[in-house]
C-alpha cells in the first residue's frame, strides 16, 4: 500500500516551484471535483508535471494531502512571524490582533483549506504529528509575546495555552460545522477582544 507520508521536501528553487504547482493543482481539483474524484494522475496532468515526478514527493493522494496540510501550517506560522513578530514599532495590541486573525483563518491570503480535510486527519496524521503542530502553534504565541516589549505584564504559560486552545480549538470546531463567513468574522472579532482583555490584565485598556 502506498505511503500516506510525503517522501521528501523540496529544497532547490526548481523543486519548490514544482511542488507549489502540484499543491495549486490539488486545490483546484478538490474545489472542482471533490476528494473522492481526486487522483495523483489528475493532479500531475493539471500541474503539467510527469507522474513520476509527483511520485518522487507524494506516493499517494493521502501523502499529497499530508504534504498540503503541512504546507498550510508552515504558511500559517510564516504569516504570524511576518505580520506579528518581525515588525518593529507596533503596539502589542496590533501584534495580538494580527496573530488572532491569522489563526482564526479569516484572512484570504492564506492557503485554502476545506472543512472535509478534517475528516482525513486520521488517515494522514499520527498523534505525534498532531502534538507537533500544537506545540508549533503554541510557540508562535510565545514569539509574539516575546516581541511585544510594550506589553505591561507578561502572561504565564497557562494563560497563553488557554488562549491558544480557545482560538485554534474554536477555529477547528467552526470549520467542522461549516460556520458561514460572516459568523466566522464575528467570532474572530470576539476572540480578538477576549485575548486583548486577558493579556492587558485587570487595569488595562486595550481595544
DSSP readout, 64-109?
A: HHHHHHHHHHHHHHHHHIIIIIS--S--HHHHHHHHHHHHHT--TT
Helix, strand, coil distribution of the chain in percent, nearest 5: 70, 0, 30
Q: pTM of this prediction?
A: 0.86
CA dihedral (196, 201, 206, 207) in degrees, to 10, reads 50
Q: Which residue has the cell 476528494?
A: 35
Can you say how many angstroms the Cα of residue 116 is from the centroid of all Cα atoms in its chain?
15
- Determine contact, residues 184/104, Cβ cutoff 8 Å: yes
Residue 195 clears pLDDT 70, i.e. is over it: yes
**91-105, pLDDT tens digit by residue?**
999 999 999 999 998
Residue 17 clears pLDDT 70, i.e. is over it: yes
- Determine contact, residues 112/24, Cβ cutoff 8 Å: no
Phi/psi at 100 (5° precision): -65, -45
pLDDT band at 1 (very low <50, low <70, confident <90, very high): very low
- Structural domains of the chain in order of their starting residue, each with its CATH number: 1-59 (1.10.10.60), 69-200 (1.10.357)
The pLDDT score that the predictor gives to residue 121 is 67
Gap between the Cα atoms of 124 and 67, Å rounded: 9
Gap between the Cα atoms of 81 and 88, Å rounded: 12
The pLDDT score that the predictor gives to residue 28 is 92
Residue 113 clears pLDDT 80, i.e. is over it: no
pLDDT band at 110 (very low <50, low <70, confident <90, very high): confident
Q: How far is CA 91 from CA 7, 58, 151, 163, 180, in A?
A: 42, 43, 8, 19, 31
Residue 200 clears pLDDT 70, i.e. is over it: yes
Gap between the Cα atoms of 186 and 183, Å rounded: 5
Phi/psi at 137 (5° precision): -70, -40
Residue 118 clears pLDDT 80, i.e. is over it: no
CA neighbours within 13 Å on the CB side: how many for 148?
25
**40-61, pLDDT tens digit by residue?**
999 999 999 999 999 999 999 8
Cell of 193: 477582544
Gap between the Cα atoms of 92 and 199, Å rounded: 10
Amino acid at each position: 500500500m502506498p505511503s500516506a507520508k510525503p517522501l521528501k521536501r523540496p529544497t532547490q528553487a526548481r523543486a519548490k516551484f514544482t511542488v507549489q504547482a502540484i499543491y495549486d493543482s490539488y486545490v483546484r481539483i478538490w474545489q472542482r471535483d471533490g476528494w473522492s474524484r481526486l487522483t495523483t494522475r489528475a493532479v500531475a496532468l493539471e500541474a503539467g508535471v510527469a507522474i513520476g515526478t509527483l511520485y518522487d514527493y507524494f506516493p499517494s493522494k493521502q501523502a499529497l494531502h499530508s504534504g498540503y496540510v503541512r504546507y498550510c501550517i508552515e504558511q500559517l506560522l510564516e504569516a504570524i512571524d511576518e505580520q506579528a513578530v518581525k515588525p518593529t514599532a507596533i503596539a502589542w495590541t496590533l501584534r495580538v490582533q494580527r496573530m488572532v486573525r491569522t489563526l482564526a483563518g479569516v484572512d484570504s491570503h492564506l492557503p485554502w483549506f476545506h472543512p472535509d480535510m478534517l475528516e482525513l486527519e486520521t488517515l494522514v496524521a499520527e498523534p505525534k504529528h498532531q502534538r507537533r503542530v500544537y506545540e508549533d502553534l503554541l510557540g508562535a504565541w510565545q514569539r509574539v509575546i516575546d516581541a511585544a516589549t510594550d506589553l505591561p505584564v507578561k502572561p504565564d504559560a497557562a494563560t497563553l495555552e488557554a488562549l491558544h486552545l480557545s482560538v485554534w480549538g474554536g477555529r477547528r470546531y467552526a470549520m467542522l460545522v461549516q460556520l458561514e463567513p460572516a459568523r466566522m468574522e464575528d467570532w474572530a472579532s470576539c476572540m480578538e477582544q477576549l485575548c486583548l482583555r486577558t493579556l492587558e490584565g485587570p487595569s488595562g485598556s486595550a481595544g
